Amino acid sequence: MPDMRRFCEGAWAEWKDVPTDTKQFMFERFSERWQWHSSDAELIRRAWDRHFNKCYKDELTKSRRRTKIKAGTEDITQTSGCGLYWIPPQHWDSLIKKWGNDDYLKRSQTAAVNRRTEHSGSMVRHTAGSIPIAQHRVNLERHLGRPPTQIELFERTHRRDKGKGEFVDGKSQTVHEQYVSILDQKCRDQDGNPTQHPDFDAQAWCEATAGPRKGRLYGFGYYEHPSAILHPPNTSSSSQSVDQEAYQLLQSQLDEQRQQTQNLQEQFAHVLQFMASQGYQFPPQPPPSAD
């Protein structure tokens, strides 16, 4: 995206190579356009860093592809002097040496396989397209007239026909079936009769998906942090002795935290909309890692 390209002044093969002071300056520019409560500063910074980590990687990927076309070769090491305008020639030549390194090529190939392959060996897909999951959540809330449940959001982005058709791949169907099966076993009374399922059971979802992997939770996109999804399950039951006043206080704090999380998601969705209005084309959401 234009803002990020403007600050590229080194042979930085990955976002982690970008100097801290450069990242800080970029974030300060971002902060000039948007405001948030001071208590949300850490969450906003983490979300910003995760987003630009991916943006930087995507920009370099597109640059490699375009440069190879420009040079008429599939060998990136043969593209010296053919780099794009936003990367100085001397930095481009340093980058292609890194990209041509055997260790880098091996790691890149392994990562590509992991991104495309699920545990069962088939391709991972969803219906989110180029729209971030956070924006799908906002759109679905407008359509329903209320905040969607996590399962409604998952089905909207992993089933065809706007969440009403068949699942897009084997993994999404398997996870959904396992989640429902776990709930069926958990939601029974003392006589074994089925009881009503909760809107979302975080523990059951973790069991069905094997929990978060590399900071992501399967089914909810790259920008949705697991902590925003995995709210502690309701642990009140007749078999537990819970101080009612303390429980109500905790419940109130949890409700407040959920509201803050929802507000952050809406703010971030607006940020993404603004970025799109400035000409940035969002790539499809990456699938979860298979390791």
Bridge partners of residue 213, in order along the sequence: 216
Residue 146, pLDDT score: 92
Q: Which residue has the higher pLDDT, 81 or 146?
A: 146
Residue 1 has pLDDT above 80, yes or no: no
In the structure encoding, which two tokens stand for residue 167, read together? Answer: 């699942």
pLDDT 10s digits, 158-171: 898 888 889 888 88
Instruction: State the virtual CA torsion across 23, 36, 141, 247 in degrees, nearest 10.
Output: 110
Least confident piece of the model among 39-48, 143-152, 168-177, 219-228: 219-228
Residue 144, pLDDT score: 92
Residue 190, pLDDT score: 83
pLDDT 10s digits, 65-98: 889 888 888 888 888 888 777 888 888 999 998 8
Q: Which of 60, 81, 44 is nearest to 11 (CA)?
A: 60
Bridge partners of residue 159, in order along the sequence: 167
Residue 239, pLDDT score: 36
pLDDT 10s digits, 251-280: 556 666 766 777 677 777 777 777 766 666
Average pLDDT rounded to a whole number, residues 35-56: 85
In the structure encoding, which two tokens stand for residue 81, read together? Answer: 């002097």
With cut-offs at 50, 70 and 90, classify the pLDDT of residue 172.
confident
Rounded Cα–Cα distance for residues 35 and 196 (Å): 41
Q: Is 159 helix (H, G, I), strand (E, B) or coil?
A: strand
Average pLDDT, whole number, for the chain?
76
